[in-house]
Structure 1
Amino acid sequence: MAEEAEDGLLGTIEKKINSVFDPVATGLGDFVFGEVSLFGITFPWIVAWLVLAGAVFTIYFGFIQVRGLKLALQVLRGKHSKPDDPGEITHFQALTSAVSGTVGLGNIAGVGVAVTIGGAGATFWMVLCGLLGMSTKFVECTLGVRYRDQHPDGTVSGGPMQYLSKGVAEKLPGAPGKAIGKILAALAAIMILFFGIGGGNMFQANQTVTQIRNITGGDDSPFSGDGTALILGIVLAVIVGAVIIGGIKSIGKVTSRLVPSMGIIYISACAIVILFNATEVPSAVSSIFSGAFTGEGVVGGVIGALIVGFTRAAFSNEAGLGSAPIAHSAVKTKYPATEGLVALLEPFIDTVVVCTMTALTIVIADTTLWNDAKADYAADGTTVDGVTVTSSAFETALPWFPHILTVAVVLFAISTMITWAYYGQKAWTHLFGRSKSSERVYQLVFCAFIVIGAVLSFGSVLAFTDAVLFLLALINIIGLYLLAPFVKRELARFQQSLRSRGGGDGDGDDKELAAVEEVR
């Protein structure tokens, strides 16, 4: 009892919860993030699984991320859309909704870790992994639209729950295929729901409160007093709740403004640092390329840089996890491949643009803190503070940047919570039924966990939800391999529609269907 009084009620609750989840989180984490060795370098097998999928789909679809880029931008601008297309939100809103769930602290802290451990050359491999992930996003988001459920009220539900259930049944006709599809879909829903309630909100809320406290004085911060974390948690819950109650249309409207805003703030800060150190740009770019292939000064050499870069990129852009198709499936379109094309822009924005800007900023700044972090890591193999490394790079040109970083963290956190609230809701309704009362119960539970996450850290719970999310990739990518031929048919159907329209008259559905049958 004395120990409980010393720790306080919240500390005692946190310890008890962690004690229950510790063995479960450790066991699941050991499996999901279990390491394999390559040339003496160890790395999580799940990363290899994600990267391999990107490489396979890139070849299978003939480098769709390159040849389809121009068409993707046209679709994003609404060139091939009609107001009466089935769905709820525009292509742009669907993209920003999905991006808001991936662009976050991983782009700030994760990149700092990658460059510190893997050297400047890790940046090259991050970019390559992001480019490969574009093809995986194309596949899963095309399937998300193809197999989505369209409800009588005009709303839609899509994602791995739908395409694993209906797609596997279509691919493997008969009772066994139908049963396998339902089991895979239920497992996917459970995993998404666990992360949505445990990781997509609690971690974000906790990190937001921590950053606000750090920037306002740490232990002496006015936000470090009793009850302040609870108040901040309630404020975050109210903001998120006000958005998610309106559904994907409300989410799309908010993220279509929020994501560009936070992107402009962050990329502008990167650009300022780069401009302040413009003379160092050539040598920084040179070190990125040379470090990728020579491995000088990198833990584990070339393979070390490659593995670190691939790992951080895979954890950042979520390609292959099955989460993004839930947002993309709400798009207004009658051609599933159109949203697949738009979705392939997501890893490009998240990894190729945002992560690269962060990495280039760190390499160019070449701060004492970064070098100290590298020395610490080389000494003990574990000491890396990614957020601090990234922040110190910005401070070389912007001494006041920690305040901007706080704004960015808050925006990233809110946007991530909003998007994962929607993902979790779709998983919830798949498992427990779709009704207004069911959705309201979920939304209340989700917002309650935002408040809880702001007050407690729940280390083992968060470790468990992370493992669950990446376990989803194992199931999801098996489904993508099985259903990839259907994606080819959808792409052929859309391409045929463009040829049939000629000047864009919109007529040609018969020709499209004939073309699809020919592909089959």
Structure 2
Amino acid sequence: MNFLDDLIARFASFIWGLPLLILLIGGGFYLLVRSKFLPFRYLVHAVQVLRGKYDNPNDPGEISHFQALATALAATVGMGNIAGVAVAIAIGGPGAIFWMWISAIIGMATKFFTCSLAVMYRGKDSAGEIQGGPMYVIMEGLGKKWKSLAIFFSVAGLVGALPVFNVNQLTQAVNFILLAPNGVETGFSTNLIIGLILVGITSVVIFGGLDRISKTVSKLVPTMVLLYFVSVLIILYVNIDQVPYYFKLIFTDAFSATYFKGDSFLGGVLGGLIILGIRRGAFSNEAGIGTAPMAHGAAKTNEPIREGLVAMLGPAIDTLVVCTLTALAILVTGVWQTTNVNGVSLTAEAFDQSIPVFGNYLLMLCIAIFSISSLFSYSYYGTKCLSFLIGADKKHYYNYFYVVSILVGATTSLSMMINLIDGFFALMAIPTMLSTLILAPKVLKEANAYFSRMKTRNREEKVMR
């Protein structure tokens, strides 16, 4: 297992090299500038679309704008925000958060383009159902000669969509918060039992298909974000005197890398800190990875730009809000310097210190909702990848592989699971970003046409009044 752990770590480090950094962040920055910062100029309109102002039940697709965003957020607003942020701080210190922010700001532009394309270039699976996602964007937008790139994405997605990290951290949370404090000896047996319980819960939902998944997560996501938001605000209130200092430290340490403990990159610790922040940011908001376009591609709309605008709200909610709250909670309590624990256990220490007795249990409830909702969304992504590869009539086979992976995630180490998903996320990003950069001019042309129609519509509505 140690050999396998080291092998997967080397694989993740190799894939997350300079070429991918240029593709993911450089490419995202190019899209942001090329669009003249369009995602930020139309934030209000994006919120109006999300609230259902322009919904039409007769539009093609399976789910509403809100359900599409909720499905995507159920995957992104998950353990990456609780455990992923803790991992970033434990290795990189406060400065890692700044680079997560940068990845989110750039990621908003990336999400706008990738998810607009997911609706612009929807294809049909072998059953004749309309589908969206990078593999269909490649086939419909670039042509069949690029099919190998679509296959590459789908194969990588079969592993990238596995829930092993979320399950691993939920298992760690149950052991750390519930079992160990009550005298229960934890180990392989308890981890396996937790895994089996999660298999049961997950199976009930995922075998019901996208409709059941989207309806379930659209109820869970707003609740879990609100509960977590209030809990962290309590921690920040208790430690209010420390908030300004650590908020400033996030900026200063981003360029000094004083607390960085990881491997250097491009010959320096600052390079190592930047790549750590980008990796954790990508894991958190998944911008440019290609998962979210699979959810947004199923939205009921014939206006691709609307779905792109809704999708771009994801990184803002996920990384700029939720991840920042987690980071500040860990930093202001000082647990990142006083304990040796990592991942979700570090966040648990922060909750326990600021909200005695109830804090850990409150976090446990949040973690359970975060993790379980993530399990539902990722299964949908995996089935879409398998459907593309071998046919829609066989996509359900992925769910059997998926539930077995839950047991693997529950009984293996954190480092192995996080490096495995990091590595395959990186592989998924290659075809997603390449196709997006090639087809970006088509999105801008569609955006100009869309906003022109909106201006005409608004003028007509004013005249009618």
TM-score after normalising by structure 1: 0.79
Distance 1:479 1:151, change over 3 A: closer
Aligned to 2:428: 472
Is the 8 Å Cα contact of residues 291 and 302 (structure 1) preserved in structure 2? no
Aligned to 1:443: 399
Q: What SS is found at the alignment partner of 2:39? A: helix
Give the letter for the 2:220 counterpart: L
Q: 1:425 offset after TM fit, Å?
A: 0.3
Distance 1:413 1:488, change over 3 A: same
Is the 8 Å Cα contact of residues 140 and 480 (structure 1) preserved in structure 2? yes
Aligned to 1:192: 157
Give the total of aligned pairs: 454
Give the letter for the 2:238 counterpart: F
Is the 8 Å Cα contact of residues 102 and 316 (structure 1) preserved in structure 2? yes
CA distance in structure 1 between the aligned counterparts of 2:97 and 2:10, rounded to whole angstroms: 31
Q: 1:427 offset after TM fit, Å?
A: 0.5
CA distance in structure 2 between the aligned counterparts of 1:481 and 1:27, rounded to whole angstroms: 28
Distance 1:394 1:48, change over 3 A: farther
Q: 1:330 offset after TM fit, Å?
A: 0.7
Aligned to 1:396: 353
Provide the aligned C-alpha RMSD in A: 3.0
Give the letter for the 2:52 counterpart: G
Aligned to 1:244: 206
Is the 8 Å Cα contact of residues 273 and 394 (structure 1) preserved in structure 2? yes
CA distance in structure 2 between the aligned counterparts of 1:386 and 1:445, rounded to whole angstroms: 26
Corresponding position: 1:433 with 2:391: yes
Corresponding position: 1:371 with 2:337: yes
In the TM superposition, 1:201-220 aligns within 5 A as: 201-218=163-180
Distance 1:434 1:213, change over 3 A: same
Distance 1:72 1:451, change over 3 A: same
In the TM superposition, 1:120-519 aligns within 5 A as: 120-149=94-123, 155-169=129-143, 178-179=144-145, 181-196=146-161, 200-218=162-180, 222=184, 224=186, 228-292=190-254, 306-365=274-333, 367=334, 369-372=335-338, 385-399=342-356, 400-435=358-393, 438-455=394-411, 463-502=419-458
Is the 8 Å Cα contact of residues 87 and 155 (structure 1) preserved in structure 2? no
Aligned counterpart in structure 2 of residue 61 of structure 1, from 15, 35, 41 = 35
Aligned counterpart in structure 2 of residue 31 of structure 1, from 3, 11, 14 = 14
Is the 8 Å Cα contact of residues 95 and 252 (structure 2) preserved in structure 1? yes
Q: 1:412 offset after TM fit, Å?
A: 1.9
Gaps of 5+ in 1: 1-14, 37-44, 170-177, 374-382, 506-520
CA distance in structure 1 between the aligned counterparts of 2:277 and 2:8, rounded to whole angstroms: 25
Corresponding position: 1:109 with 2:105: no
Deviations 1:72-125 (A, max 9, x none): 111101112212111111111100100111122221233233334444344333
CA distance in structure 2 between the aligned counterparts of 1:468 and 1:305, rounded to whole angstroms: 21
Distance 1:207 1:282, change over 3 A: closer
CA distance in structure 2 between the aligned counterparts of 1:118 and 1:63, rounded to whole angstroms: 30
Is the 8 Å Cα contact of residues 91 and 331 (structure 1) preserved in structure 2? yes
Q: 1:384 offset after TM fit, Å?
A: 6.7
CA distance in structure 1 between the aligned counterparts of 2:13 and 2:279, rounded to whole angstroms: 16
Give the letter for the 1:190 counterpart: V
Is the 8 Å Cα contact of residues 150 and 431 (structure 2) preserved in structure 1? no
Deviations 1:396-445 (A, max 9, x none): 3212322222222222221121111000000011111112xx23333233
In the TM superposition, 1:86-97 aligns within 5 A as: 86-97=60-71
Is the 8 Å Cα contact of residues 103 and 412 (structure 1) preserved in structure 2? yes
Q: 1:305 offset after TM fit, Å?
A: 5.5
Give the letter for the 1:195 counterpart: G
Distance 1:226 1:394, change over 3 A: closer
CA distance in structure 2 between the aligned counterparts of 1:285 and 1:27, rounded to whole angstroms: 33
Q: 1:337 offset after TM fit, Å?
A: 1.0
Deviations 1:430-465 (A, max 9, x none): 111112xx2333323322332444355697677445
Give the letter for the 1:492 counterpart: N
Give the structure, 1 or 2, with the largest relative contact order (CA under 8 Å, sep 6 or more). Answer: 2
Is the 8 Å Cα contact of residues 248 and 330 (structure 1) preserved in structure 2? no
Q: Could you tell which deviates more after superposition, 455-464 or 494-503?
A: 455-464
CA distance in structure 1 between the aligned counterparts of 2:351 and 2:422, rounded to whole angstroms: 29
Is the 8 Å Cα contact of residues 145 and 339 (structure 1) preserved in structure 2? yes
CA distance in structure 1 between the aligned counterparts of 2:141 and 2:156, rounded to whole angstroms: 19
Corresponding position: 1:76 with 2:50: yes
CA distance in structure 2 between the aligned counterparts of 1:339 and 1:168, rounded to whole angstroms: 21
Distance 1:499 1:192, change over 3 A: same
CA distance in structure 1 between the aligned counterparts of 2:108 and 2:433, rounded to whole angstroms: 14
Give the letter for the 1:391 counterpart: A
CA distance in structure 2 between the aligned counterparts of 1:226 and 1:312, rounded to whole angstroms: 28
CA distance in structure 2 between the aligned counterparts of 1:24 and 1:118, rounded to whole angstroms: 22
Distance 1:395 1:24, change over 3 A: closer
CA distance in structure 1 between the aligned counterparts of 2:126 and 2:382, rounded to whole angstroms: 21
Give the letter for the 2:290 counterpart: G
Q: 1:149 offset after TM fit, Å?
A: 2.6
TM-score after normalising by structure 2: 0.88
Give the letter for the 1:490 counterpart: E
Q: Which of the two has higher C-alpha Rg?
A: 1
Q: What SS is found at the alignment partner of 1:288? A: helix
Aligned to 1:40: none
Gaps of 5+ in 2: 262-267
Distance 1:292 1:205, change over 3 A: closer
CA distance in structure 1 between the aligned counterparts of 2:41 and 2:428, rounded to whole angstroms: 29
Q: What SS is found at the alignment partner of 1:334? A: coil
Distance 1:257 1:135, change over 3 A: same
Give the letter for the 1:204 counterpart: N
Q: What SS is found at the alignment partner of 1:83? A: coil
Aligned to 2:265: none
